Amino acid sequence: MTTLLTSNDVPKLARLVKSVNNVIKISPIEWEVVIVVNSIHEGYYEDVCALNLPFRVVNTESNGKPGRGKNACLDVFLESDCDFVSQIDGDDFLYPSYLQSLWNHYKHYPCIDVLGVVPCDCLCNFPLEQGHYWWVNDNYHASVWGTSMCAVTQNVGPQESHLFIDERPVSVDFIMLQSRKSAQIKMNEDIGNGEDHAYTYKLLAEHQKGNICYFLTMSSDLYCIDRTTEGSAQKVHSYEDYLQPMRDEALKHVPQWRSSPYELPVIYKDLLMNQHQKQTWINKFINES
């Protein structure tokens, strides 16, 4: 199952659904897509339904924090007969290779309970000079990764997380796939920003205990994050205000000296889309959406 979580942007949800349909055209893999509405905006559920999308739409109760919506996605998944779930935020979009790439991971590592993606492809409205980058048009700047045959960091193994070192730490990975076992582990619903970052420490603790198998992957051929959405948690809630709550949440689950996900096993596989193919595809997809 893939859940598409949306709270405040119908046009970008429609763009995401367009990318989902592109995947469906080329991937015969059995796959359920569910749109999960978790919004404090009156009438938003009706606005989503008015799109007449070809997928089931589930309306859930929101507290205005992203963790509540993501837990709602996990609940929808656990009520289904599906074996794995991939959560996608409603303002992001999938590459055509998304489903085949996930399937390739599972095929070679069937014991996966959690898959976290390390290289993050981004769409911004400011220059983000990382990886391969360019201006898509006057409004959007893209930064993508190609080959990933390098270490995720020079220092691997048990160590202190950047969460406790930096004043503005970024997530090491973005959770892309979860099994039914790991989906029973829920996010903190009170953190207004960085809830997914805090969640990785909870999952890391369960991996350290041997309860789940948590892998990192260097495969950047799954999806692209959009950081331009007005009203998103990153723009509404100050990161600095939630830095200490994130640290407190992490310390409930892991000791500070062993809080880095860099001790996790890392998967390297051939990318189904390289950086130049992504550039061509993104230019066409964004400018036609």
User: How many Å apart are CA 65 and CA 60, to the nearest integer?
Assistant: 13
Q: Three-state SS for 207?
A: helix
Q: How far apart are the first and last CA of the chain?
A: 24
Nearest to 177 by CA among 96, 87, 111, 267: 87
CA distance 38 to 74: 13
Provide the pLDDT for residue 171.
77
pLDDT tens by residue, the chain, 289 residues: 999 999 999 999 999 999 999 999 887 788 999 999 999 999 999 999 999 999 999 999 999 999 999 999 999 999 999 999 999 999 999 999 999 999 999 999 999 999 999 988 999 998 888 889 999 999 999 999 986 656 666 677 899 998 998 877 777 789 999 999 999 999 999 988 888 999 999 999 999 999 999 999 999 999 999 999 775 555 555 667 788 889 999 999 999 999 999 899 999 989 999 999 999 999 999 999 8
Count Cα neighbours of 223 within 13 Å in the Cβ-side half-sphere.
27
- Tell me, what's the pLDDT at 169? 73
pLDDT value for 148: 61
Tell me, rounded to whole angstroms, the distance of Cα 102 from its chain centroid.
13
The helix-helix angle for 66-78 and 195-208 (nearest 10°) equals 50
Q: What is the DSSP string of 101-128?
A: HHHHHHHH-TT-SEEEE-S--EEESS--
Reference 216, options 159, 254, 172, 250; nearest CA is 172
Tokens of 267: 């998967």
CB 287 within 8 A of CB 279: no
